[in-house]
């Protein structure tokens, strides 16, 4: 679909058989190094499902690499035709080249390279949204990907990455989102900018804290809600906890010190969104 205001590129098909092809090296760099992703504004998502999700959600695709199996698969063929019509370079590769690109022994039959998209802090409008989840210095890509997937599942508005967080466009994060990355807006901001946002937030700003005095099931969550989750090791810093209207706790029995970050996010999100979720 033509994108208004964007020059139209003409797509093409290219066969690659050599591991030392510059495009293969570029994709390898995007898989393994955050620096390359940041500099280029590109990222890699593996698999046909993610390719169809990305295309359905109109993300810009730069390359779509198809292994031998994909060239026999009608869904992959359709994805390739759509990507090419939108200006992507379609790479026909063998399994060894796919393995080299992805640094995996058993690569998926389709590997896509897409342009990153982030919501600028100034464009984040709380009005008419449901719940934004803010993650303070999240470190684990699996946790981040799982949170993005859960935000998608509950109809949340998006995810805010506060401070020094793991890369939302790392291959492990993208994989853990199971395609939800293409449907959930992501914003990044430093701590001070987040505190400004929290101070002007029109609904409830809820922090989750192991010392929270409020049972998470007793709050009347005013939407738009803003749910703040702490770092895996250190939890929420005092000033971040101070930016919240209330600090909730999820009751625990047993010997576990705390819940996993993504599990705690899921429990809180389902409570916040409970009145709006039906089978």
Binding site for ligand SAM (CB under 6 A): 208-210, 212, 229-230, 232-233, 235-236, 249-250, 252, 258-259, 261, 264
Nearer CB in complex with ligand SAM: 50/236:
236
Nearer CB in complex with ligand SAM: 121/214:
214
Nearer CB in complex with ligand SAM: 113/261:
261
Nearer CB in complex with ligand SAM: 253/279:
253
Span between the terminal Cα atoms of the chain, in Å: 33
Nearer CB in complex with ligand SAM: 175/209:
209
Residue 73 and residue 68: Cα distance in Å, rounded? Answer: 9
Cβ atoms 170, 197 nearer than 8 A: no
**DSSP per residue over 231-267, as a string?**
BTTTB--HHHHHTSSEEEE----SS-SS--HHHHHHH
The least CB distance from residue 121 to ligand SAM, in Å, is: 21
The least CB distance from residue 136 to ligand SAM, in Å, is: 8
- Burial class (CB within 10 angstroms; exposed 0-12, middle 13-18, buried 19+) of 237: middle
The least CB distance from residue 230 to ligand SAM, in Å, is: 2
The least CB distance from residue 178 to ligand SAM, in Å, is: 21
Residue 33 and residue 26: Cα distance in Å, rounded? Answer: 10
The least CB distance from residue 156 to ligand SAM, in Å, is: 16
């Amino acid at each position: 679909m033509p994108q208004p205001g964007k020059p139209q590129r003409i797509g093409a098909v290219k066969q690659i058989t050599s591991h030392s092809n510059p495009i293969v090296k570029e994709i390898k760099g995007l898989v393994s190094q955050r620096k390359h992703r940041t500099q280029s504004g590109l990222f890699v998502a593996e698999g046909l499902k993610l390719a169809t999700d990305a295309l359905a959600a109109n993300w810009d695709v730069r390359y779509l690499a198809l292994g031998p199996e994909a060239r026999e698969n009608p869904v992959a063929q359709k994805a390739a035709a759509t990507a090419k019509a939108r200006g992507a370079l379609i790479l026909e590769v063998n399994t060894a080249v796919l393995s080299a690109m992805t640094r995996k022994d058993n690569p998926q039959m389709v590997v896509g390279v897409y342009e990153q998209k982030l919501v600028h802090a100034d464009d984040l409008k709380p009005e008419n949204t449901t719940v934004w989840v803010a993650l303070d210095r999240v470190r684990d890509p699996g946790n981040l990907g799982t949170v993005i997937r859960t935000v998608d599942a509950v109809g949340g508005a998006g995810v805010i990455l506060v401070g020094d967080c793991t890369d939302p466009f790392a291959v492990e994060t993208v994989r853990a989102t199971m395609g939800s990355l293409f449907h959930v807006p992501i914003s990044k901001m430093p701590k001070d900018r987040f505190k400004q946002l929290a101070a002007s937030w029109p609904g409830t700003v809820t922090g989750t804290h192991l010392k929270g005095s409020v049972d998470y099931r007793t709050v009347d969550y005013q939407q738009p809600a803003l749910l703040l989750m702490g770092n895996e090791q250190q939890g929420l810093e005092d000033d971040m906890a101070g930016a919240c209207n209330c600090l909730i706790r999820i009751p625990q029995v047993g010997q576990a010190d705390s819940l996993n970050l993504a599990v705690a996010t899921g429990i809180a999100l389902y409570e916040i969104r409970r009145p709006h979720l039906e089978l």
